[in-house]
Amino acid sequence: MYGYQKKKQATPFKHLGSNDLKCEMACQANEEIEIRENEYNLQRRIEIRVAASESERSDELLQRKSKCSMQIEIGILVSERGEENGGSEEEEEPVASEKTEMQMAESNLVLLDFWPSSYGMRVKIALAEKGVSYECKQEDFQAKSSLLLEMNPVHQMIPVLIRNGKPICESLNIVEFIDEAWNHKPSLLPSDPYKRSQARFWGDYIDKNVYSIGKRVWTGKGKEQELGKKQFIECLKILEEELGDKPYFGGENFGYVDVALVPFTSWFYTYETCGNLSIEAECPKLVAWAKRCMEKDSVAKSLPHPHKIYDFAMQYKQSHGLE
Amino acid sequence: MGKSELKLIAKWSSPYVMRVRIALNIKSLEYEHFEETLNPKSDLLLESNPVYAKVPVLIHHGKPICESLVIVEYIDETWSSGPSILPSDAYDRAVARFWASYIDQKWFPSMKSIITVVEEEERKPYFEVMEEVVEKVEGALEECSKRKPFFGGDRIGFLDIAFGSFLGWLSVIEHVYGRKLLIEEKAPKLVKWAERFAADPAVKGLIPETDKLVEISKSLQIKWRAAISKK
Protein backbone atom coordinates (compact mmCIF):
# COMPACT_ATOMS: atom_id res chain seq x y z
CA MET A 1 0.00 0.00 0.00
CA TYR A 2 1.03 3.55 -0.22
CA GLY A 3 2.33 5.51 2.61
CA TYR A 4 2.22 9.22 2.62
CA GLN A 5 4.44 12.04 3.43
CA LYS A 6 3.11 15.23 4.86
CA LYS A 7 4.76 18.55 4.48
CA LYS A 8 2.92 20.28 7.24
CA GLN A 9 0.51 19.46 9.99
CA ALA A 10 -2.52 18.14 8.18
CA THR A 11 -5.56 16.01 8.64
CA PRO A 12 -4.82 12.32 8.06
CA PHE A 13 -5.53 10.91 4.65
CA LYS A 14 -6.94 7.56 3.98
CA HIS A 15 -4.72 4.95 2.52
CA LEU A 16 -4.89 4.95 -1.20
CA GLY A 17 -5.60 1.48 -2.38
CA SER A 18 -4.12 0.32 -5.60
CA ASN A 19 -7.41 -0.35 -7.37
CA ASP A 20 -9.74 1.77 -5.41
CA LEU A 21 -8.71 5.35 -5.49
CA LYS A 22 -10.43 7.59 -3.05
CA CYS A 23 -9.68 11.07 -2.11
CA GLU A 24 -10.67 12.73 1.06
CA MET A 25 -11.31 16.34 1.01
CA ALA A 26 -9.31 18.53 3.22
CA CYS A 27 -9.55 22.25 2.96
CA GLN A 28 -6.49 23.99 4.25
CA ALA A 29 -5.23 27.30 3.10
CA ASN A 30 -2.07 27.36 0.99
CA GLU A 31 -1.15 23.80 1.70
CA GLU A 32 0.35 21.36 -0.70
CA ILE A 33 0.22 17.74 0.13
CA GLU A 34 2.29 15.26 -1.72
CA ILE A 35 1.56 11.66 -1.64
CA ARG A 36 4.25 9.35 -2.85
CA GLU A 37 4.03 5.74 -3.17
CA ASN A 38 6.51 3.61 -1.38
CA GLU A 39 6.32 0.88 -3.93
CA TYR A 40 8.20 2.16 -6.94
CA ASN A 41 7.29 -0.73 -9.25
CA LEU A 42 3.76 0.69 -9.82
CA GLN A 43 5.01 4.23 -10.40
CA ARG A 44 1.90 6.07 -9.55
CA ARG A 45 2.10 9.62 -8.55
CA ILE A 46 -0.81 11.46 -7.23
CA GLU A 47 -0.67 15.12 -6.64
CA ILE A 48 -3.37 16.71 -4.74
CA ARG A 49 -3.36 20.39 -4.65
CA VAL A 50 -5.81 22.09 -2.50
CA ALA A 51 -6.29 25.80 -2.65
CA ALA A 52 -8.73 27.54 -0.44
CA SER A 53 -9.44 31.07 0.59
CA GLU A 54 -9.96 30.50 4.31
CA SER A 55 -9.09 27.76 6.76
CA GLU A 56 -10.86 26.49 9.85
CA ARG A 57 -9.54 23.62 11.86
CA SER A 58 -11.85 21.08 13.41
CA ASP A 59 -10.85 18.32 15.72
CA GLU A 60 -11.20 14.98 14.06
CA LEU A 61 -13.49 15.18 11.11
CA LEU A 62 -13.15 16.80 7.76
CA GLN A 63 -12.30 20.47 7.69
CA ARG A 64 -14.65 22.62 5.79
CA LYS A 65 -14.43 26.25 4.98
CA SER A 66 -17.33 28.37 4.04
CA LYS A 67 -15.75 28.96 0.67
CA CYS A 68 -13.87 26.06 -0.69
CA SER A 69 -12.34 26.23 -4.08
CA MET A 70 -10.65 23.01 -4.77
CA GLN A 71 -8.67 21.72 -7.56
CA ILE A 72 -7.96 18.12 -7.41
CA GLU A 73 -5.81 16.89 -10.16
CA ILE A 74 -5.14 13.30 -10.38
CA GLY A 75 -2.58 12.26 -12.81
CA ILE A 76 -2.33 8.64 -13.31
CA LEU A 77 0.54 7.42 -15.31
CA VAL A 78 0.47 4.09 -16.97
CA SER A 79 2.83 1.78 -15.28
CA GLU A 80 4.98 -0.54 -17.28
CA ARG A 81 3.00 -3.46 -16.02
CA GLY A 82 -0.21 -1.96 -17.40
CA GLU A 83 -2.50 -0.86 -14.67
CA GLU A 84 -6.11 -1.54 -15.32
CA ASN A 85 -7.00 2.09 -14.87
CA GLY A 86 -4.96 3.09 -17.85
CA GLY A 87 -2.89 6.18 -18.21
CA SER A 88 -4.67 9.41 -18.58
CA GLU A 89 -4.67 12.62 -16.76
CA GLU A 90 -7.99 12.85 -15.09
CA GLU A 91 -9.46 15.73 -13.31
CA GLU A 92 -11.64 14.43 -10.61
CA GLU A 93 -13.93 16.27 -8.30
CA PRO A 94 -15.23 14.76 -5.12
CA VAL A 95 -18.60 13.23 -5.91
CA ALA A 96 -21.55 11.87 -4.07
CA SER A 97 -19.65 8.85 -2.68
CA GLU A 98 -17.87 11.19 -0.29
CA LYS A 99 -21.21 12.17 1.16
CA THR A 100 -20.91 10.12 4.31
CA GLU A 101 -17.83 12.07 5.36
CA MET A 102 -19.67 15.31 4.78
CA GLN A 103 -22.69 14.14 6.66
CA MET A 104 -20.54 13.38 9.63
CA ALA A 105 -18.88 16.75 9.40
CA GLU A 106 -22.06 18.77 9.29
CA SER A 107 -23.14 18.23 12.85
CA ASN A 108 -23.70 21.94 13.29
CA LEU A 109 -26.23 22.69 10.54
CA VAL A 110 -29.75 23.76 11.42
CA LEU A 111 -32.62 24.75 9.14
CA LEU A 112 -35.48 26.82 10.54
CA ASP A 113 -38.48 25.90 8.45
CA PHE A 114 -42.24 25.92 8.14
CA TRP A 115 -43.38 22.83 6.27
CA PRO A 116 -45.93 24.40 3.83
CA SER A 117 -43.45 27.11 2.81
CA SER A 118 -42.23 26.82 -0.77
CA TYR A 119 -39.21 28.85 0.25
CA GLY A 120 -38.25 26.34 2.94
CA MET A 121 -38.67 23.49 0.44
CA ARG A 122 -36.09 25.11 -1.84
CA VAL A 123 -33.45 24.83 0.86
CA LYS A 124 -34.39 21.23 1.68
CA ILE A 125 -34.08 20.25 -1.98
CA ALA A 126 -30.67 21.95 -2.27
CA LEU A 127 -29.35 20.24 0.85
CA ALA A 128 -30.71 16.89 -0.36
CA GLU A 129 -29.07 17.39 -3.76
CA LYS A 130 -25.74 17.86 -2.01
CA GLY A 131 -26.29 14.93 0.34
CA VAL A 132 -25.83 17.12 3.39
CA SER A 133 -27.59 16.21 6.60
CA TYR A 134 -28.95 18.80 8.98
CA GLU A 135 -31.34 19.34 11.82
CA CYS A 136 -34.70 20.73 10.77
CA LYS A 137 -36.68 22.82 13.27
CA GLN A 138 -40.29 23.73 12.57
CA GLU A 139 -41.36 27.25 13.40
CA ASP A 140 -44.76 28.31 14.66
CA PHE A 141 -45.67 31.70 13.28
CA GLN A 142 -48.00 32.40 16.18
CA ALA A 143 -45.05 31.98 18.51
CA LYS A 144 -41.74 32.53 16.76
CA SER A 145 -38.82 30.94 18.49
CA SER A 146 -36.14 33.05 20.13
CA LEU A 147 -33.67 31.35 17.80
CA LEU A 148 -35.54 32.63 14.73
CA LEU A 149 -35.76 36.14 16.16
CA GLU A 150 -32.07 36.07 16.95
CA MET A 151 -30.95 34.60 13.64
CA ASN A 152 -33.21 36.64 11.36
CA PRO A 153 -33.96 39.85 13.25
CA VAL A 154 -34.56 41.82 10.05
CA HIS A 155 -37.37 39.75 8.54
CA GLN A 156 -38.18 37.15 11.23
CA MET A 157 -39.03 34.75 8.43
CA ILE A 158 -38.05 31.27 7.47
CA PRO A 159 -36.10 29.66 5.95
CA VAL A 160 -32.92 30.37 7.88
CA LEU A 161 -29.92 28.12 7.54
CA ILE A 162 -27.64 28.25 10.55
CA ARG A 163 -24.15 26.94 10.04
CA ASN A 164 -21.83 26.85 13.02
CA GLY A 165 -24.03 29.46 14.67
CA LYS A 166 -23.96 31.83 11.69
CA PRO A 167 -27.26 32.49 9.89
CA ILE A 168 -27.94 32.72 6.19
CA CYS A 169 -31.36 34.13 5.23
CA GLU A 170 -33.49 34.44 2.09
CA SER A 171 -34.10 31.15 0.30
CA LEU A 172 -32.32 31.70 -3.03
CA ASN A 173 -29.44 33.29 -1.16
CA ILE A 174 -29.24 30.13 0.94
CA VAL A 175 -29.42 27.89 -2.14
CA GLU A 176 -26.53 29.76 -3.74
CA PHE A 177 -24.55 29.56 -0.51
CA ILE A 178 -25.16 25.79 -0.32
CA ASP A 179 -23.95 25.42 -3.91
CA GLU A 180 -20.75 27.31 -3.07
CA ALA A 181 -20.04 25.90 0.37
CA TRP A 182 -20.56 22.30 -0.76
CA ASN A 183 -19.12 22.73 -4.20
CA HIS A 184 -19.08 19.05 -5.18
CA LYS A 185 -21.46 17.73 -7.80
CA PRO A 186 -24.20 18.13 -8.57
CA SER A 187 -23.77 21.86 -9.18
CA LEU A 188 -26.94 23.84 -8.91
CA LEU A 189 -25.72 26.93 -10.74
CA PRO A 190 -23.99 26.60 -14.11
CA SER A 191 -20.32 27.51 -14.33
CA ASP A 192 -20.68 29.84 -17.32
CA PRO A 193 -21.22 33.47 -16.18
CA TYR A 194 -23.88 34.19 -18.82
CA LYS A 195 -25.89 31.09 -17.94
CA ARG A 196 -25.51 31.97 -14.26
CA SER A 197 -26.90 35.44 -14.93
CA GLN A 198 -29.90 33.92 -16.71
CA ALA A 199 -30.49 31.50 -13.82
CA ARG A 200 -30.37 34.36 -11.30
CA PHE A 201 -32.69 36.45 -13.46
CA TRP A 202 -35.32 33.73 -13.54
CA GLY A 203 -34.90 32.94 -9.84
CA ASP A 204 -35.57 36.62 -9.16
CA TYR A 205 -38.58 36.60 -11.55
CA ILE A 206 -40.07 33.62 -9.71
CA ASP A 207 -39.48 35.41 -6.38
CA LYS A 208 -41.21 38.57 -7.55
CA ASN A 209 -44.25 36.92 -9.08
CA VAL A 210 -45.25 33.36 -8.29
CA TYR A 211 -46.09 33.59 -4.59
CA SER A 212 -47.76 37.01 -4.62
CA ILE A 213 -49.90 36.34 -7.68
CA GLY A 214 -50.63 32.78 -6.58
CA LYS A 215 -51.91 34.04 -3.25
CA ARG A 216 -54.61 36.03 -5.01
CA VAL A 217 -55.74 32.80 -6.65
CA TRP A 218 -56.15 30.81 -3.45
CA THR A 219 -57.29 33.56 -1.09
CA GLY A 220 -58.98 36.01 -3.47
CA LYS A 221 -62.61 36.29 -4.39
CA GLY A 222 -64.65 37.66 -7.27
CA LYS A 223 -62.91 40.13 -9.57
CA GLU A 224 -59.70 40.12 -7.59
CA GLN A 225 -59.45 36.35 -7.95
CA GLU A 226 -60.29 36.45 -11.66
CA LEU A 227 -57.55 38.97 -12.28
CA GLY A 228 -55.19 36.93 -10.12
CA LYS A 229 -55.97 33.77 -12.12
CA LYS A 230 -55.31 35.52 -15.40
CA GLN A 231 -51.99 36.94 -14.19
CA PHE A 232 -50.99 33.64 -12.63
CA ILE A 233 -51.46 31.72 -15.87
CA GLU A 234 -49.59 34.46 -17.75
CA CYS A 235 -46.72 34.13 -15.29
CA LEU A 236 -46.63 30.33 -15.63
CA LYS A 237 -46.73 30.63 -19.42
CA ILE A 238 -43.73 32.95 -19.38
CA LEU A 239 -41.88 30.36 -17.30
CA GLU A 240 -43.06 27.55 -19.58
CA GLU A 241 -41.66 29.46 -22.55
CA GLU A 242 -38.34 29.80 -20.78
CA LEU A 243 -38.33 26.04 -20.11
CA GLY A 244 -39.01 25.34 -23.79
CA ASP A 245 -38.23 21.76 -24.76
CA LYS A 246 -35.48 21.31 -22.18
CA PRO A 247 -35.97 18.58 -19.61
CA TYR A 248 -35.15 21.07 -16.84
CA PHE A 249 -34.74 24.83 -16.61
CA GLY A 250 -31.09 24.01 -15.99
CA GLY A 251 -30.91 22.16 -19.32
CA GLU A 252 -30.00 18.51 -19.15
CA ASN A 253 -29.51 18.77 -15.42
CA PHE A 254 -31.74 19.86 -12.58
CA GLY A 255 -30.52 23.22 -11.29
CA TYR A 256 -31.08 26.51 -9.52
CA VAL A 257 -34.20 27.64 -11.39
CA ASP A 258 -35.78 24.20 -11.03
CA VAL A 259 -35.09 24.39 -7.27
CA ALA A 260 -36.61 27.88 -7.20
CA LEU A 261 -39.86 26.89 -8.91
CA VAL A 262 -40.63 23.24 -8.15
CA PRO A 263 -41.79 23.79 -4.54
CA PHE A 264 -44.72 25.86 -5.84
CA THR A 265 -45.95 22.79 -7.71
CA SER A 266 -46.98 21.29 -4.36
CA TRP A 267 -49.42 24.21 -4.25
CA PHE A 268 -50.84 23.57 -7.76
CA TYR A 269 -53.71 21.44 -6.44
CA THR A 270 -54.63 24.27 -4.06
CA TYR A 271 -54.49 26.92 -6.80
CA GLU A 272 -56.58 24.74 -9.11
CA THR A 273 -59.19 23.83 -6.53
CA CYS A 274 -59.60 27.32 -5.06
CA GLY A 275 -59.32 29.03 -8.40
CA ASN A 276 -61.30 26.50 -10.43
CA LEU A 277 -58.66 26.21 -13.08
CA SER A 278 -56.54 23.53 -14.71
CA ILE A 279 -52.84 24.30 -14.82
CA GLU A 280 -52.23 21.20 -16.95
CA ALA A 281 -54.63 22.44 -19.60
CA GLU A 282 -52.92 25.84 -19.72
CA CYS A 283 -49.29 24.78 -19.24
CA PRO A 284 -48.86 21.10 -20.12
CA LYS A 285 -45.08 21.32 -20.51
CA LEU A 286 -44.71 22.84 -17.08
CA VAL A 287 -46.79 20.09 -15.50
CA ALA A 288 -44.70 17.47 -17.33
CA TRP A 289 -41.59 19.17 -15.99
CA ALA A 290 -43.03 19.06 -12.46
CA LYS A 291 -43.62 15.30 -12.77
CA ARG A 292 -40.08 14.84 -14.05
CA CYS A 293 -38.72 16.72 -11.03
CA MET A 294 -40.79 14.61 -8.65
CA GLU A 295 -38.92 11.53 -9.93
CA LYS A 296 -35.87 12.93 -8.21
CA ASP A 297 -35.38 11.79 -4.65
CA SER A 298 -34.31 15.22 -3.44
CA VAL A 299 -37.58 16.75 -4.66
CA ALA A 300 -39.93 13.91 -3.70
CA LYS A 301 -38.58 13.94 -0.14
CA SER A 302 -38.79 17.71 0.24
CA LEU A 303 -42.28 18.46 -1.08
CA PRO A 304 -45.36 17.73 1.03
CA HIS A 305 -48.31 15.97 -0.57
CA PRO A 306 -50.49 18.50 -2.40
CA HIS A 307 -53.54 17.42 -0.36
CA LYS A 308 -51.71 18.28 2.87
CA ILE A 309 -50.96 21.71 1.44
CA TYR A 310 -54.64 22.08 0.52
CA ASP A 311 -55.73 21.18 4.05
CA PHE A 312 -53.29 23.73 5.43
CA ALA A 313 -54.57 26.37 2.99
CA MET A 314 -58.18 25.73 4.04
CA GLN A 315 -57.30 26.01 7.72
CA TYR A 316 -55.38 29.21 7.00
CA LYS A 317 -58.33 30.73 5.17
CA GLN A 318 -60.69 29.79 7.96
CA SER A 319 -58.52 31.24 10.70
CA HIS A 320 -57.95 34.45 8.71
CA GLY A 321 -61.59 34.87 7.72
CA LEU A 322 -60.87 34.44 4.04
CA GLU A 323 -63.57 31.91 3.18
CA MET B 1 -12.39 44.99 -24.99
CA GLY B 2 -13.84 46.89 -27.90
CA LYS B 3 -16.72 49.23 -27.34
CA SER B 4 -18.88 47.30 -29.78
CA GLU B 5 -18.84 44.21 -27.57
CA LEU B 6 -20.54 45.92 -24.63
CA LYS B 7 -23.66 48.04 -24.75
CA LEU B 8 -25.59 49.48 -21.85
CA ILE B 9 -29.19 50.59 -22.19
CA ALA B 10 -29.25 53.36 -19.63
CA LYS B 11 -31.11 56.27 -18.11
CA TRP B 12 -29.15 59.06 -16.44
CA SER B 13 -31.55 59.33 -13.50
CA SER B 14 -31.82 55.63 -12.66
CA PRO B 15 -30.03 54.40 -9.53
CA TYR B 16 -30.22 50.88 -10.93
CA VAL B 17 -28.36 51.91 -14.06
CA MET B 18 -25.81 53.66 -11.86
CA ARG B 19 -25.01 50.36 -10.16
CA VAL B 20 -24.02 48.84 -13.49
CA ARG B 21 -21.97 51.88 -14.50
CA ILE B 22 -20.02 51.76 -11.26
CA ALA B 23 -19.31 48.06 -11.79
CA LEU B 24 -18.14 48.71 -15.35
CA ASN B 25 -15.88 51.48 -14.06
CA ILE B 26 -14.38 49.24 -11.38
CA LYS B 27 -13.39 46.79 -14.10
CA SER B 28 -12.22 49.65 -16.37
CA LEU B 29 -14.49 48.48 -19.17
CA GLU B 30 -15.37 50.47 -22.25
CA TYR B 31 -18.92 50.27 -23.46
CA GLU B 32 -21.44 51.92 -25.70
CA HIS B 33 -23.93 53.98 -23.74
CA PHE B 34 -27.45 53.98 -25.16
CA GLU B 35 -29.60 56.58 -23.42
CA GLU B 36 -33.15 55.21 -23.28
CA THR B 37 -36.03 57.61 -23.64
CA LEU B 38 -38.52 55.23 -21.96
CA ASN B 39 -41.40 57.15 -23.51
CA PRO B 40 -41.88 55.46 -25.87
CA LYS B 41 -39.68 52.50 -25.04
CA SER B 42 -37.09 51.79 -27.69
CA ASP B 43 -37.24 48.66 -29.85
CA LEU B 44 -33.85 47.71 -28.49
CA LEU B 45 -35.18 47.76 -24.93
CA LEU B 46 -38.33 45.80 -25.80
CA GLU B 47 -36.27 43.18 -27.62
CA SER B 48 -33.58 42.84 -24.96
CA ASN B 49 -35.84 42.94 -21.93
CA PRO B 50 -39.18 41.48 -23.03
CA VAL B 51 -40.12 40.46 -19.49
CA TYR B 52 -39.86 43.86 -17.78
CA ALA B 53 -38.94 46.41 -20.48
CA LYS B 54 -36.85 48.25 -17.89
CA VAL B 55 -33.35 49.65 -17.68
CA PRO B 56 -30.56 48.79 -17.09
CA VAL B 57 -29.87 46.14 -19.69
CA LEU B 58 -26.31 45.12 -20.43
CA ILE B 59 -25.75 43.59 -23.83
CA HIS B 60 -22.54 41.59 -24.17
CA HIS B 61 -21.74 40.09 -27.56
CA GLY B 62 -25.38 40.58 -28.46
CA LYS B 63 -26.67 38.73 -25.39
CA PRO B 64 -28.74 40.73 -22.92
CA ILE B 65 -28.54 40.59 -19.13
CA CYS B 66 -31.26 42.27 -17.06
CA GLU B 67 -31.78 43.29 -13.41
CA SER B 68 -29.10 45.54 -11.95
CA LEU B 69 -27.68 43.23 -9.27
CA VAL B 70 -27.70 40.24 -11.65
CA ILE B 71 -25.74 42.39 -14.12
CA VAL B 72 -23.25 43.48 -11.44
CA GLU B 73 -22.59 39.84 -10.51
CA TYR B 74 -22.23 38.97 -14.20
CA ILE B 75 -19.65 41.71 -14.65
CA ASP B 76 -17.74 40.53 -11.60
CA GLU B 77 -17.67 36.90 -12.78
CA THR B 78 -16.92 37.58 -16.43
CA TRP B 79 -14.06 40.02 -15.85
CA SER B 80 -12.64 38.14 -12.91
CA SER B 81 -9.11 39.49 -13.33
CA GLY B 82 -10.15 43.03 -12.39
CA PRO B 83 -10.74 44.18 -8.79
CA SER B 84 -13.38 41.98 -7.15
CA ILE B 85 -16.83 43.36 -6.53
CA LEU B 86 -18.28 40.51 -4.49
CA PRO B 87 -16.44 39.24 -1.39
CA SER B 88 -14.29 36.17 -1.87
CA ASP B 89 -15.75 34.23 1.06
CA ALA B 90 -19.05 32.40 0.43
CA TYR B 91 -20.56 33.45 3.76
CA ASP B 92 -19.61 37.10 3.23
CA ARG B 93 -21.20 36.89 -0.23
CA ALA B 94 -24.41 35.56 1.29
CA VAL B 95 -24.43 38.46 3.76
CA ALA B 96 -23.81 41.03 1.01
CA ARG B 97 -26.59 39.57 -1.16
CA PHE B 98 -28.96 39.54 1.81
CA TRP B 99 -28.48 43.24 2.50
CA ALA B 100 -28.67 44.18 -1.17
CA SER B 101 -31.98 42.34 -1.43
CA TYR B 102 -33.21 44.05 1.76
CA ILE B 103 -32.35 47.46 0.32
CA ASP B 104 -34.18 46.66 -2.90
CA GLN B 105 -37.26 45.48 -1.03
CA LYS B 106 -37.51 48.47 1.30
CA TRP B 107 -35.62 51.51 0.14
CA PHE B 108 -36.84 52.49 -3.31
CA PRO B 109 -40.47 51.44 -2.76
CA SER B 110 -40.55 53.76 0.27
CA MET B 111 -39.01 56.61 -1.71
CA LYS B 112 -41.51 56.06 -4.48
CA SER B 113 -44.41 56.09 -2.02
CA ILE B 114 -43.17 59.27 -0.36
CA ILE B 115 -43.14 61.00 -3.74
CA THR B 116 -46.46 59.53 -4.84
CA VAL B 117 -48.74 60.04 -1.85
CA VAL B 118 -50.48 63.33 -1.46
CA GLU B 119 -50.95 63.88 2.26
CA GLU B 120 -48.19 64.56 4.76
CA GLU B 121 -49.77 62.04 7.13
CA GLU B 122 -49.61 59.32 4.51
CA ARG B 123 -45.87 59.87 4.17
CA LYS B 124 -45.09 59.23 7.83
CA PRO B 125 -45.02 55.40 7.74
CA TYR B 126 -42.72 55.44 4.71
CA PHE B 127 -40.32 57.80 6.42
CA GLU B 128 -40.33 55.44 9.37
CA VAL B 129 -39.40 52.57 7.05
CA MET B 130 -36.56 54.61 5.59
CA GLU B 131 -35.27 55.50 9.05
CA GLU B 132 -35.37 51.83 10.00
CA VAL B 133 -33.41 50.96 6.87
CA VAL B 134 -30.77 53.56 7.72
CA GLU B 135 -30.44 52.10 11.20
CA LYS B 136 -30.14 48.53 9.93
CA VAL B 137 -27.74 49.42 7.12
CA GLU B 138 -25.56 51.29 9.63
CA GLY B 139 -25.36 47.99 11.51
CA ALA B 140 -24.63 46.14 8.29
CA LEU B 141 -21.78 48.54 7.55
CA GLU B 142 -20.25 47.75 10.91
CA GLU B 143 -20.65 44.01 10.29
CA CYS B 144 -19.42 43.89 6.70
CA SER B 145 -16.70 46.51 6.66
CA LYS B 146 -14.76 44.99 9.55
CA ARG B 147 -13.51 48.47 10.44
CA LYS B 148 -12.45 49.22 6.88
CA PRO B 149 -13.74 52.20 4.88
CA PHE B 150 -16.35 50.37 2.75
CA PHE B 151 -18.89 47.54 2.98
CA GLY B 152 -16.54 45.75 0.62
CA GLY B 153 -13.49 46.43 2.81
CA ASP B 154 -10.65 48.50 1.40
CA ARG B 155 -12.42 49.03 -1.91
CA ILE B 156 -16.04 49.57 -2.85
CA GLY B 157 -17.92 46.35 -3.38
CA PHE B 158 -21.34 44.87 -4.07
CA LEU B 159 -23.14 46.33 -1.10
CA ASP B 160 -21.51 49.76 -1.45
CA ILE B 161 -22.84 49.82 -5.01
CA ALA B 162 -26.29 48.52 -4.03
CA PHE B 163 -26.84 51.22 -1.41
CA GLY B 164 -24.67 54.05 -2.70
CA SER B 165 -26.52 54.15 -6.01
CA PHE B 166 -29.46 55.67 -4.13
CA LEU B 167 -27.57 58.62 -2.64
CA GLY B 168 -28.74 60.96 -5.38
CA TRP B 169 -32.40 60.12 -4.84
CA LEU B 170 -31.94 60.23 -1.08
CA SER B 171 -30.92 63.86 -1.34
CA VAL B 172 -34.07 64.53 -3.42
CA ILE B 173 -36.24 63.16 -0.63
CA GLU B 174 -34.32 65.11 2.01
CA HIS B 175 -34.41 68.29 -0.08
CA VAL B 176 -38.04 68.24 -1.20
CA TYR B 177 -39.59 67.02 2.03
CA GLY B 178 -37.16 68.74 4.37
CA ARG B 179 -36.36 65.63 6.34
CA LYS B 180 -32.80 64.49 6.78
CA LEU B 181 -32.34 60.74 6.93
CA LEU B 182 -28.60 60.22 6.78
CA ILE B 183 -27.66 62.13 9.91
CA GLU B 184 -24.61 62.08 12.14
CA GLU B 185 -26.52 61.27 15.32
CA LYS B 186 -28.33 58.26 13.88
CA ALA B 187 -25.80 56.90 11.38
CA PRO B 188 -22.31 58.32 11.92
CA LYS B 189 -20.54 55.58 9.98
CA LEU B 190 -22.87 55.82 7.01
CA VAL B 191 -22.47 59.60 6.81
CA LYS B 192 -18.70 59.27 6.49
CA TRP B 193 -19.05 56.29 4.17
CA ALA B 194 -21.33 58.31 1.87
CA GLU B 195 -18.64 60.96 1.43
CA ARG B 196 -15.99 58.35 0.68
CA PHE B 197 -18.29 56.54 -1.72
CA ALA B 198 -19.15 59.67 -3.68
CA ALA B 199 -15.47 60.53 -3.98
CA ASP B 200 -14.43 57.11 -5.22
CA PRO B 201 -13.00 57.19 -8.77
CA ALA B 202 -15.46 54.54 -9.98
CA VAL B 203 -18.39 56.64 -8.74
CA LYS B 204 -17.25 60.18 -9.49
CA GLY B 205 -19.53 62.02 -11.87
CA LEU B 206 -22.19 59.33 -11.80
CA ILE B 207 -24.37 60.68 -8.99
CA PRO B 208 -26.78 63.03 -10.76
CA GLU B 209 -27.18 66.57 -9.46
CA THR B 210 -29.98 66.92 -6.94
CA ASP B 211 -31.63 69.79 -8.86
CA LYS B 212 -31.94 67.71 -12.00
CA LEU B 213 -33.37 64.78 -10.06
CA VAL B 214 -35.85 67.07 -8.28
CA GLU B 215 -37.07 68.22 -11.71
CA ILE B 216 -37.57 64.71 -12.94
CA SER B 217 -39.22 63.67 -9.67
CA LYS B 218 -42.05 66.08 -10.43
CA SER B 219 -42.92 64.34 -13.71
CA LEU B 220 -42.53 60.94 -12.04
CA GLN B 221 -44.92 62.07 -9.32
CA ILE B 222 -47.55 62.92 -11.92
CA LYS B 223 -47.03 59.59 -13.65
CA TRP B 224 -47.17 57.52 -10.45
CA ARG B 225 -50.23 59.35 -9.11
CA ALA B 226 -52.01 58.83 -12.42
CA ALA B 227 -51.25 55.11 -12.32
CA ILE B 228 -52.85 54.80 -8.87
CA SER B 229 -55.99 56.72 -9.79
CA LYS B 230 -56.49 54.41 -12.77
CA LYS B 231 -56.80 51.34 -10.54
Question: Is residue A40 pLDDT above 60, yes or no?
Answer: no
Residues 6+ apart with CB under 8 A from B229: none
Confirm if A60 and A29 have CB atoms less than 8 A apart: no
Of A155, A181, A193, which is closest to B78 when you measure between CB atoms?
A193
For all residues of chain B together, what is the average pLDDT? 94
What span, in angstroms and rounded, lies between the C-alpha atoms of A240 and A236? 6
The kind and range of the H/E element at A197 are helix A193-219
What pLDDT is attached to residue A188?
A: 98
Per residue in A120-157, pLDDT (tens digit) is 999 999 999 999 999 999 998 888 999 999 999 999 99
Of B70, B102, B136, which is closest to A197 when you measure between CB atoms?
B70
Nearest by Cα to B150 from B97, B223, B87, B60: B87
Per residue in A14-32, pLDDT (tens digit) is 444 444 433 344 434 444 4
B135 touches chain A (CB under 8 A): no
Q: What percent of chain A has pLDDT over 90?
A: 64
pLDDT band at residue A284 using 50, 70 and 90 as cut-offs = very high
In chain B, residues with a C-beta closer than 8 Å to the C-beta of A180 are 90, 93
Paired sense of beta strands B6-10 and B32-35, if any? parallel
The complex scores an ipTM of: 0.95
In chain A, residues with a C-beta closer than 8 Å to the C-beta of B102 are 154-155
Please indicate whether residue A52 or residue B119 has the higher confidence score (pLDDT): B119
Closest residue in chain B to residue A191, using alpha carbons only: B77
In chain A, residues with a C-beta closer than 8 Å to the C-beta of B97 are 170, 173, 176
pLDDT band at residue B4 using 50, 70 and 90 as cut-offs = low
Ranking A7-11, B17-21, B35-39, B207-211 by mean pLDDT, the lowest is A7-11
A53–B77 CB contact, under 8 Å: no
Confirm if A231 and A239 have CB atoms less than 8 A apart: no
A170–B101 CB contact, under 8 Å: yes
Number of inter-chain CB pairs under 8 A, A vs B: 69
What pLDDT is attached to residue A32?
A: 42
Confirm if A125 and A298 have CB atoms less than 8 A apart: yes
pLDDT band at residue A71 using 50, 70 and 90 as cut-offs = very low
Q: Which pTM was predicted?
A: 0.81
Question: Is residue A268 pLDDT above 70, yes or no?
Answer: yes
Buried b / exposed e along B133-164 (16+ C-beta atoms within 10 A): bbebbbbbbeebbeeebbbbbeebbbbbbbbb
B51–A205 CB contact, under 8 Å: yes
In chain B, residues with a C-beta closer than 8 Å to the C-beta of A196 are 73-74, 77
Q: What is the mean pLDDT of residues A86-111?
A: 53
What pLDDT is attached to residue A322?
A: 86
| Cα end-to-end span (Å), chain B | 47
Q: What is the mean pLDDT of residues B44-73?
A: 97
In chain B, residues with a C-beta closer than 8 Å to the C-beta of A173 are 94, 97-98, 101
Question: Is residue A84 pLDDT above 90, yes or no?
Answer: no
Question: Is residue B176 pLDDT above 50, yes or no?
Answer: yes
Confirm if A17 and A44 have CB atoms less than 8 A apart: no
Nearest by Cα to B8 from B53, B46, B60: B60
Confirm if A130 and A256 have CB atoms less than 8 A apart: no
pLDDT band at residue B39 using 50, 70 and 90 as cut-offs = confident
pLDDT band at residue B230 using 50, 70 and 90 as cut-offs = confident
Per residue in A194-249, pLDDT (tens digit) is 999 999 999 999 999 999 999 999 999 999 999 999 999 999 999 999 999 999 99
For all residues of chain A together, what is the average pLDDT? 78
What pLDDT is attached to residue A10?
A: 41
